[in-house]
Amino acid sequence: MLNTIRRKLFIVILFSCCTSLLSEAQKMDFEEYDPKSTLIVPAHIITHSKYPFIDIHNHQWDMPSQNLHELVSEMDKLNMAIMNNLSGRGYRDVNGFFDVQDTNYFKKAQANIRANCPNRIIQFTNISFTHFGQKGWIEHALTELEADVRNGAKGLKIYKDLGMEFKDEQGKRIAVDDPRLDPIWEKCGSLHIPVLIHSADPPSFWDPMDKYNERWLELKTHPDRKRGNTNPVPWKTIIEEQHHLFRTHRNTIFIAAHFGWLANDLASLGKLLDECPNVYAEIAAIIAELGRQPRQAKSFFLKYQDRILFGKDSWVPSEYSTYFRVLETSDEYFPYHKKYHAFWRMYGLDLPDEVLKKVYYKNALRILPGLDKSSFPQ
């Protein structure tokens, strides 16, 4: 009788423990689930690129007073030969959108660069769209653009707020291809400087936030990124405006930031590049898209090897390793560095050396004016 009771008690305790464990597992949120792969395959962790590279898409927010010797030291560890700071005029938050800093910001930043690392850091300038449409706005913008180019600006960066947030003097959204901006693009063409333009965001930000949205985790952890057909307009509208801009100003070189948010649709991006020989694309923040389609992406890089530039975006040195691994190796099934961006695994493209050289530096040297080429192999 005693043994029977003991056995029943043991079963009850065991069942209670199992139920408790199961309950804890069931309570786990998706963002907590992070399984370790049991797949055993070759792995190459690369912290230093095979060839020196130009990062066409970087942001440094305190360039006028920043310790640039420390920054260059971090660049050297990565084999970054030249960094392009796209935030040449800085920015500040004004009524929920980006605006440009005081007129001396760019001058101070350039002075710091010239004094400490004149051949290692370059800058693009920016334009403020505040007061757009008012009398004298376009003349003032052109004057500032020309002055910045004389002071060393290598190009113009346009933030995504054009087409999404900025409004004209009547309170209407400024379209990316607003004809009132035509003198800006034409001036860049005559000055022989490229325009790196970021329009919209990933198309999934406009899709319903449901079980079918593969950016669900990012939208849950960053709810401010959620868009909609009326916020401010459909994704397709903004992208079509950008493409119309490219077609209209064929004498100006445009660099589509983030692969123009078409890294998940390389056939469409290829069609755009075929139609617009004045357009280049850079890979900042979309390496996860390329890494999950290695055969398709490699074919794309081989075909458009003269039109692709290296970019990273946010300055987190440890994350460059993912880019190097995707571009340079044939590794299989490895994780991206930000789970909320990409919960899937990635594969290396194993690009040929000549293609790597073009992506890392040759293409940028061809379209950016006046760069020091001495640190790059032929």
Question: What confidence tens digit (pLDDT) does each residue in 187-206 have?
Answer: 999 999 999 999 999 999 99
Sign of CA dihedral 153, 263, 307, 314: positive
Half-sphere exposure of 131 (CA within 13 A, CB side): 11
| pTM of the model as a whole | 0.91
Q: Which residues contact 193 (CB under 8 A, 6 or more apart)?
A: 149, 153, 154, 155, 156, 253, 369
Report the distance separating Cα 84 and Cα 280, nearest Å. Answer: 16
Contact 280, 256 (CB under 8 A): yes
Q: Which residues contact 246 (CB under 8 A, 6 or more apart)?
A: 254, 256, 272, 276, 278, 279
Per-residue model confidence (pLDDT) at position 230: 86
Tens digit of pLDDT at every position of the chain (378 positions): 545 555 555 454 545 555 555 455 567 776 778 888 898 999 999 999 999 999 999 999 999 999 999 999 999 999 999 999 999 998 755 555 556 656 789 999 999 999 999 999 999 999 989 899 999 999 999 999 999 999 999 999 999 999 999 999 999 999 999 999 999 999 999 999 999 999 999 999 999 999 999 999 999 999 999 998 888 999 999 999 999 999 999 999 999 999 999 999 999 999 999 999 999 999 999 999 999 999 999 999 999 999 999 999 999 999 999 999 999 999 999 999 988 888 899 999 999 999 999 999 999 999 999 999 998 998
The residue ranges of DSSP E strands in 17-89, in sequence order, are: 53-58, 80-85
Report the distance separating Cα 327 and Cα 298, nearest Å. Answer: 9
Per-residue model confidence (pLDDT) at position 307: 98
Q: Which residues pair with 282 in a beta bridge?
A: 309
The domain covering 49-367 belongs, at the CATH homologous superfamily level, to Metal-dependent hydrolases (3.20.20.140)
